[in-house]
Structure 1
Amino acid sequence: LSVCGDLTCRRLASFQRLRAAVHYTAGCLCQGVAEEKGVQFSKQTIAAISEITFRQCGTDGCFLIICRHAKRSTVTSEDVKLLARRSSSLLKYITQKSEELASSNMEQKEKKKKKSSAAKGRRTSEEQEAPVTESEDSNMA
């Protein structure tokens, strides 16, 4: 085999090991769910779940490669929505959670702003009281 052919063989072997690892993990997860729920998963069902998972990871991996190519290091909620666009129910759920998170963040910012302005108000009144105390002391001397 040539160097190029050897590299292809190694990539294929690595790809097959990765696919086998996904299949094994899917099988373990299915077994855990089966024990918890009292159901059975057929070998075909486990194979289908692992294949779908493997393909989805490939799609998501391509997306991450595109993000890296664009020199982006942070994944935003919009990126996650873009990934979920193929599943309308998942997209709807992610959009709902994203809106809840944004609302919660706004509430926290408003609370911090109120605390900050209240603390500034207290500091200002304390600063105004301090010179009065000094002037009283100087008059007494």
Structure 2
Amino acid sequence: MEETEAEEQRQFSHRQRLKAAVHYTVGCLCNEVALDKQVQFNKQTVAAIAEVTFRQCENFAKDLEMFARHAKRSTVTTEDVKLLARRSNSLLKYITEKNEEIAQLNLERKAKKKRKPEDESSHSGEPDAEVVDSES
């Protein structure tokens, strides 16, 4: 019983810290907009925007979990995120572009890793397997 209460308290504390972080970030964004557009946001407005943002993030997380589960996966993928963003063309385009950039960077890193052992073996005159063995 005490373990359950301790876990609930831990989850509540974690949730409160997340909410505070969202509130802080929303406040910073509102300050930027206020400076840029010469408008003011009162504290209640910032708090309301933060609360709506937090609830929307919770909904997004639940939807992403359900998309992955529907696909019989335990991991959320970028395809799930694209599905979530499907109603916003600009957001979907942004996510797709960023995903392609990340995929390209990953391919370049893999290519560099493959070339590195080849370069080392060509300098030493040893086969790749021996180079790998000597590095470990």
Which range moves more in the overlay, 109-118 or 69-78?
69-78
Shift of 1:83: 1.7
2:76 matched to 1:75? yes
Letter in 2 for 1:60: A
Shift of 1:70: 5.0
Q: Structure 2: which 5+ runs fail to align?
A: 1-14, 128-136
Give the corresponding residue for 2:114: 113
Q: TM-score, normalised by structure 2?
A: 0.55
Q: Number of aligned residue pairs: give it.
A: 106
Change (3 A) 1:102 1:29: closer
Larger Rg computed on CA atoms: 1
Q: TM-score, normalised by structure 1?
A: 0.54
Give the corresponding residue for 1:8: none
Answer 1 or 2: which has greater helix percent.
1
Give the corresponding residue for 2:27: 31
| Cα deviation code 1:76-128 (max 9, x no counterpart) | 221221222122111111111111111111111111111122233345x258x
Give the secondary structure class of the aligned counterpart of 1:108.
helix
**Between the two proteins, what is the percent identity of the paired residues?**
41
- In angstroms, what is the RMSD of aligned CA positions? 3.3
Q: Are the equivalent residues in 1 in contact too, given 2:30–2:46 (CA < 8 A)?
A: no
Give the corresponding residue for 1:40: 40
Which range moves more in the overlay, 98-107 or 45-54?
45-54
Q: Structure 1: which 5+ runs fail to align?
A: 1-17, 128-141
